Structure 1
Amino acid sequence: MPPRMQSRSVSNTLLPYLTSTSSSSSSLSSIPSLSSTSSQCLSRQFSATAAPQAQTKLRRQMFEWLNNEGSIFKHHVPGETNYLTRLKQRGNEGSETPRPFPNNQHFISEPILSEELRNEVYNRVVEQKKSVRVVSVELGIDMKRIAAVVRLVELENRQRAQGKPLALPYARAVHEMVPTTPLAEKGERQTYHEPINDLPAHPLTGSQIFYPVPESRSFNRVEAGRVFSGAPAMEHSEAAEISHPSDLAEKIMEDPNSIGWVGKGANARQILQPADVRIPHPHLVAQERDRLAHPNERLAVADLQSKRLERQDALEKERRERLQARREKKTTIVSPEDSRFNYRIKDTIYTTETTGVDGRGSKATGRRYGVPHRDRTRGEVKVPTRVEA
């Protein structure tokens, strides 16, 4: 057999003549070595391997299922989900499961906000000037989702004002094919869209600590948070003032700086607070306590809750105004003539407390300017060593 490179060169030169007249083919057949070489090359280049029998069988079964039992999924019914579990629900009228995959019972299709509920969120926050916290409790929607809805509707209104088209047909199709949370009628109770008081996992609670406590000492969640943070135990007089961990919520609400700190410099962190304080809506715990203490006084409990929310909103508004006034006091705005820019000049204090010993303190202004980055320094730890919660 000729060498591999030689056979490839000969076959390439003879390819244009393989489809010519019969005379040329007969002349080629007189040379057995060249004809066998070209046929081998053609078989290598243009070979077609037959598909396995199993793959053909599976494809046939798939198309048989799509034409018979699966034909109901070609067109969805408006207002209903188009999940495979519809096949099992034919005998059970009215029962709708949120699991789209029959073989994965752990995956649940979560509902989305309906168009009416989304507009109601925007109306209460922007038009009625209600706080995000109050709207979250009234409609059962997480505060982060409410903020995202307000930003999204603002963006849609801006695009409409600019004459830009919106993907409304796509939005309508999505709302018809996935479960949605509708807006309750006037006088009816609103269905909660999602849990609004979920507690995020704090990194300090991931470790297991064996902490012996004498039987004569009361050890609650407030003390447990101090143990996880590595803070010293509370004084007896301070601990006696706390009858329930939720009592700290109102105190921290009035003065957020009342939370103690442990550590120094960049390693300083706040003392871990109990779950009654760290949840998004700590006032709901106080409402439940009032409800248990006065089970037959619903109006009185509702009045206490409304006053508590009004007080909390007033404190937050006052705190924001105070921070804004402090920020404006430290900032000098310079507006040059015939200029499109405003320059904001802040007074900075460079001391050892702000810049640190090495000049790279976490509280310094512009601490990275003029200082080379240490990302490429040998031996530096370049992965995060902790996660701020």
Structure 2
Amino acid sequence: MAPRIQSRSVSNTLLPYLTSTSSSSSTTSVPSLFSTPSQCLSRQFSATAAPQTKLRRQMFEWLSTEGAALKHHIPGETNYLTRLKQRGGSDGPDSRRPFPNNQNFISEPILSEELRNEVYNRVVTKGQSVRVVSVDLGIDMQRIAAVVRLVELEQRQRKQGKPLALPYARAIHEMVPTTPLAEQGERQQFHEPINDLPAHPLTGTQIFYPVPESRSFTRVEAGRVFSAAPAMEHSEAGAISHPSDLAEKIIENPNATGWVGKGDNRRQILQPADVRIPHPHLVSLERDRITNPKERLAVADAHAKRLERQDAAEKRRRERAAARREQMQTIVSPEESRFDYRIKDTVYTAETTGKDGRAPWAIGRRYGVPHRDRTRGEVKIPTRVDA
């Protein structure tokens, strides 16, 4: 193959071929360096645009006719391609499906600006617990915690005089589905499911466990079978009429769940779904509503007291944990120093520093030791996932 000729400079051997007629045209024929004059192959040098293909021509034709409606969005409505094909307006069946060929993908709504500020106002200003706000507004507890952190960050940036991308945020809220804040006296529209339960890895196995017909086998005992835990005592099992009765006991005392195994194989006993869901008290509330359909005030009062007990138990648990941390460390504040030194006693065992002294959670001993991520033969992928 002939060597590539740079377009920046032209060799003197090509000057006879660059006539005035050929130089004025858009293309110039150059013979191959290894061909004879009678069999001259030419290479085309052109700056003209590529010809329009059929698909490209159809695309521009669609953009100038039917697709022109998507150039400017309608505030408050989705600007999806499926909006052109549906006839029921913005609330049609395909209003939340951006891709016509993928009916399984649904665009999830986001929190409106008013609902986001209401979440922050209830948690920070009014002092309500995250659990109560999650139930009232239908928002997951993790999303509520994220909203509070983001609003605090936004307020901090305002105080520091940093610019915010407000035009971009307003454009996004106008083009994607949003969950609005309900008017006073109206019922709030739920933003997302708040009691979704992730699949536990222990429930993926199939176990054949024979049980006599005369014996009652509940979900509590099924969880102990999956965890390879011994059966409950008859007195303890008889005190549990429904798995939701166990939820309040475990919330007040998390250590009541029980553990099985030793060492690295030690794990908690699998609890029923009524206990592991984010809001187990809603099961008790629904049971009270079904049992006493005409006593709404009594059911609401029992539900409020149940929430108060749970919040008080969580507050006491946090206070005990903070007290333990303060007991374990000594704070030293030297004079004329900008720093406070927190000194904590550490016990060097296999649990605190690992078998080789290089555990990621170890304190003090691992500092100054080079990391072994590039050592030959080291396992660099997770070998265990704790659920």
TM-score (norm 2): 0.86
Within 1, Cα distance between the matches of 2:147 and 2:358?
Answer: 39
Q: Which residue of 1 aligns with 2:329?
A: 331
Check the 8 A contact 1:249/1:277 in 2, yes or no: yes
Distance 2:97 2:5 in 1: 58
**What is residue 183 of structure 1 aligned with on the other side?**
181
Quote the residue 1:260 is aligned against.
258
The equivalent of 1:85 in structure 2 is: 82
Aligned residue identity for 1:62: M
Q: 1:361·1:367 contact (CA, 8 Å) conserved in 2?
A: no
**Residues 274-326 of structure 1 deviation map (CA, whole Å, 9 limit, x = unaligned):** 11111000000010111111011111111111111111111111111111011
Matches for 1:88-167 after TM superposition, within 5 Å:
88-90=85-87, 92-93=88-89, 95-96=91-92, 97-167=95-165
Instruction: Look up the SS of the partner of 1:332 in the other structure.
Output: strand
Distance 1:371 1:271, change over 3 A: farther
What is the Cα deviation at residue 38 of structure 1? 11
Cα contact 1:203–1:387 (8 A) shared by 2: no
Distance in 2 (CA, whole Å) between partners of 1:352 and 1:167 is 50
More helix by share: 1
Are the equivalent residues in 1 in contact too, given 2:244–2:274 (CA < 8 A)?
Answer: yes
Name the structure 2 match of 1:278. Answer: 276
Taking the aligned partners of 2:5 and 2:309, their CA distance within structure 1 comes to 88
* Structure 1 segments unaligned to the other structure (5+ residues): none
Per the alignment, residue 239 of structure 1 pairs with 237
> Which secondary structure state, in structure 2, belongs to the residue aligned with residue 345 of structure 1?
strand
Q: Which moved more, 1:97-106 or 1:294-303?
A: 97-106
Q: Aligned partners of 2:257 and 2:151: how far apart in 1?
A: 37
Aligned residue number for residue 167 of structure 2: 169
- The whole-number CA distance in structure 1 between the counterparts of 2:38 and 2:152 is 72
Q: What does residue range 367-378 of structure 1 map to in structure 2 within 5 Å?
A: 368-369=366-367
CA 1:331 to 1:19, structure 2 compared with 1: closer, same or farther past 3 Å? farther
Counterpart of 1:294 (choices 292, 295, 298) is: 292
Tell me if the contact between 2:250 and 2:257 (Cα under 8 Å) persists in the aligned partners.
yes
Change (3 A) 1:94 1:380: closer
Amino acid at match of 1:149: V
Change (3 A) 1:73 1:325: same
**Distance in 2 of aligned mates of 1:264 and 1:159:** 49
| DSSP-derived class of the 1:197 partner | coil
CA contact (8 A) 2:110 2:179 kept: yes
Structure 2 unaligned spans of 5+: 24-29
For residues 359 and 217 of structure 1, do their structure 2 counterparts lie closer, same or farther at Cα, with a shift above 3 Å needed?
Answer: farther
Counterpart residue type for residue 70 of structure 1: G
Q: In structure 2, do the counterparts of structure 1 residues 381 and 37 end up closer, same or farther at CA, with 3 Å as the change threshold?
A: farther
Q: Which moved more, 1:108-117 or 1:223-232?
A: 223-232
1-structure distance, mates of 2:381, 2:289 = 49
Q: Tell me how many residue pairs correspond in the alignment.
A: 374
State how far apart, in whole Å, the 1-side matches of 2:237 and 2:327 are.
39
Give the TM-score normalised by the residue count of structure 1: 0.85
**Structure 2 CA distance for aligned equivalents of residues 232 and 218 of structure 1:** 16
Distance 2:203 2:211 in 1: 18
1:309 maps to which of 307, 313, 319: 307
Distance 2:79 2:5 in 1: 56
**What SS class does the counterpart of residue 248 from structure 1 fall into?**
helix
How far off is 1:340 after superposition?
Answer: 2.2
Moved more, 259-268 or 246-255: 259-268
Paired letter, 2:175: M
How far the C-alpha of 1:88 sits from its partner, in A, is 2.7
Query: Are residues 361 and 111 of structure 1, via their aligned partners in 2, closer, same or farther at CA, if it must alter by over 3 Å?
Result: closer
Q: Residue 27 of structure 2 aligns with which residue?
A: none
Equivalent residue for 1:342? 340
Tell me: CA distance 1:37–1:121, structure 2 relative to 1, closer, same or farther (3 Å).
farther
One-letter amino acid of the structure 1 residue matched with residue 274 of structure 2: D
How far 1:359 moved relative to its partner?
A: 5.4
CA distance in 2, matches of 1:378, 1:324: 42
Q: Which residue of 2 aligns with 1:227?
A: 225
Which of 35, 55, 58 is the matching residue for 1:61?
Answer: 58
> Which secondary structure state, in structure 1, belongs to the residue aligned with residue 331 of structure 2?
strand
Whether the 8 Å CA contact 1:287–1:301 is kept in 2: the answer is yes
* Contact 1:198–1:280 (8 Å) recurs in 2: yes
Structure 1 range deviating more: 334-343 or 274-283: 334-343
Contact 1:79 1:176 in 2 (8 A): yes
Letter in 1 for 2:53: T
Give the distance between the partners of 2:65 and 2:47, measured in 1 at CA: 36
CA–CA separation in structure 1 for the residues paired with 2:49 and 2:80: 37
Select between 333-342 and 71-80 the one with higher mean Cα deviation. 333-342
CA contact 1:354–1:362 (8 Å) conserved in 2: no
Which residue identity is paired with 2:82? T
Two-structure CA RMSD over aligned residues (Å): 3.3
